[in-house]
Amino acid sequence: MNKNISCPALVVAAPSSGSGKTTVVAALARYFTNLGKTVRVFKTGPDFIDPNFLAFASQQPVYQLDFWMCGEDHCRQLVAEAAKDADLILIEGVMGMFDGKCSSADIAAKLGIPVLAVINAGAMAQTFGAIAYGLANFRQDISMYGVVANRVGSAGHAEMLKEALPDNLEFCGYLPKNLGLSLPERHLGLVQAQELDDLDDRLNLAAELISQHVEIKLPPEAQFTPVVSAAPKRHLEGVTIAIAKDTAFSFIYQANLDLLEALGAQLCFFSPIKGDELPDCDALYLPGGYPELYLEELAANTGLKQQVHAHVNNNKPVLAECGGMLYLNNSLTDSEGKPGEMCGILNAESTMQSSLAALGLVEGELLPGEALRGHTFHYSKTDSSEEIACYPVSQRGRQLDPVWRHKQVIASYIHWYFPSNPKLVAKIFKGTL
């Protein structure tokens, strides 16, 4: 029998997106990290941008939790592993507390972790109590740790909010309205952490405000049971995978990198927008990001484009996800109508749009009976004449943009979650798909 592992833990949830979950989690993570504590942070649902901030705040890698995309056993194992050496585990929720097929509430209930609710109180008073009461009582399998008010106007305002709470709900404090805490946004979410030169100052300010206005103490210990699973066979032993990684190609699950290394692969990183050449490699991984913001830099790196052409013509494998796929197309036109010449490997053209084109968890059957899961979230439209490998299906059963294939290139709008099918991932990067 596996021995349980104990660690203080909280799920930080909210009534809706935009309530300030990321700010509160990042502030708590930075506060305890500054005290010398090891804080491990997780993000509910598929997301790349928030985890970058949380990793920067905690100085630890951040992983995603979703029972459908990742698998429940995999999620339990990730948290149990983190609990072995962590002083605190924080799990940032997704959207509203009860939203989605794997909601923040589902995570809290199944993992046995209490919930800290963050409520944007900027435009309310006593209604704060009603919202908090609803979050605490909508489901009976949730344990509420307490409530934090965000964007509070004054100490008097905070006292009014506290008085509105039911007696059995703990008011843990508040964060004041403060422009220094706000983070700039763009399509797909916040501006990336690595783009903000003053991020350390912002996080330290958030940690200081947390210490002034929020009751700071470690929550009760939760119990986590390790899940026994066999280590993956090293199908990629001796395979070197080059991975594009910079602010244009930054949407990479940490769990994907961990799995590739567990499969035996050697990973090497390069930056297309900084003019890097393609490293000597057996396979190429082009993740998503914001290539549309770097059209000139990508177009100007002609040497890299030629090397990627040679890689593909030598029938070496490439996995291109969303922005990585856009880079392989003939051209990419930004939202202002400015075109950029891309690699021209895939006979396709892509154009950015002002409205969201697709969002959701997906599954693609890349071989008969063998599927890989992930998610899609993009603002562009692609017209392609390449061979269609499959039509992925959303978690709700809707057919989405196809997965295209060109020689050993697998390209789509999907950000794949590799641990959902390690054997299939190995076939992709060995070129045996």
User: Collapsing DSSP states into helix, strand and coil, what is residue 368?
Assistant: coil
Distance (Å, rounded) from C-alpha 147 to C-alpha 173?
A: 7
Distance (Å, rounded) from C-alpha 283 to C-alpha 408?
A: 10
Q: Beta strand 329-333 with 346-352: parallel, antiparallel or unpaired?
A: parallel
Cβ distance 285 to 244 under 8 Å?
Answer: yes
Residue type, 90: L
Q: Enumerate the active-site residues.
A: 322
DSSP state of 411: E
CB atoms within 10 A of CB 143: 14
DSSP class per residue in 340-385? EE----EEEEEEE-SS--EEEEEEEEEETTEEEEEEEEE-EEEEE-
Distance (Å, rounded) from C-alpha 307 to C-alpha 263?
A: 26
Distance (Å, rounded) from C-alpha 255 to C-alpha 62?
A: 9
Cβ distance 276 to 236 under 8 Å?
Answer: no
Distance (Å, rounded) from C-alpha 293 to C-alpha 65?
A: 29
